[in-house]
Amino acid sequence: MIPIQAAIDEYIASTRKEREPRISMSGLGNCMRKLILTERKAKHFDFDARNYRVFAMGFQVEEFVLKSLRAKGIVFKEQEAVEYRGITGTYDAILRDDESDALTLIDVKSVHSMKFNYLNKEGVDKNYAMQLWGYQKALEGKYKLSHIPRIFYVSKDDLRIEDLGVPRSDWGDKVDAKIDEIEKWRASDDLPPEKKERDWECFVCNKKSGTKAWCRYISNCPVMYKEYQDKGGKQ
């Protein structure tokens, strides 16, 4: 049998770029302990091959959407690296409305079609909104942007689009408040307290460790933290 699955996994692994251990725009919605531990280079569980396939598939869908927007001729700028108060990231695109000359920042997020069953009821995801407003704040001094950036949710199953605006009144101040908190903990030798709810990465960690660790870092995981201590590590 031709090892197709292995070939795909090997290709994804060969093209994957390791991220630097720093806080980025995409992490602004994460729990504070996870962010600080990232910068302190704490040992953590790696994602498995399936996780990386999901990421790769999401990238393909998002890139298809951007190609479609380019073909329509409405992309003003795209995928520029930006920085706001020491937090960096790369936004997806700024779209141009030829009729009004308005510029709108967008971020494309690929999801399963089941997401659309409750998206309008629950609203935009916190992590996505914080990331988008980090980009918006970084760009406001450079471009005359619409005051309401947008998230395009795209179904991986059928390319259905749900376009949601993310107002400043809901999220703009939260970005600055989060960065204020990051700066406070950066100056401390202590760790932020554990969060009281889990996000999707926590469930990945739970499956790997067999525990109910709050996140995938050793300081919160009994299995990995014991291994870390046994090897002489210090928090």
| Residues of the chain with confidence (pLDDT) below 50 | 214, 225, 228, 233-235
Residue 232's pLDDT is 53
CB distance 127 to 26 below 8 Å: yes
Residue 214's pLDDT is 46
Just give the CATH number of 23-175+182-189. Answer: 3.90.320.10
Residue 163's pLDDT is 93
The reported pTM is 0.83
Query: What are the domain boundaries of the chain?
Result: 23-175+182-189
Residue 235's pLDDT is 42
Residue 97's pLDDT is 85
Residue 113's pLDDT is 86
Measure the CA–CA gap between 213 and 2, rounded to whole angstroms.
38
Nearby residues of 132 by Cβ (< 8 Å), 6 or more positions away: 105, 107, 149, 151, 166, 171
Nearby residues of 109 by Cβ (< 8 Å), 6 or more positions away: 62, 125, 128, 151, 152, 153, 154
Q: Is 109 in a helix, a strand, or coil?
A: strand
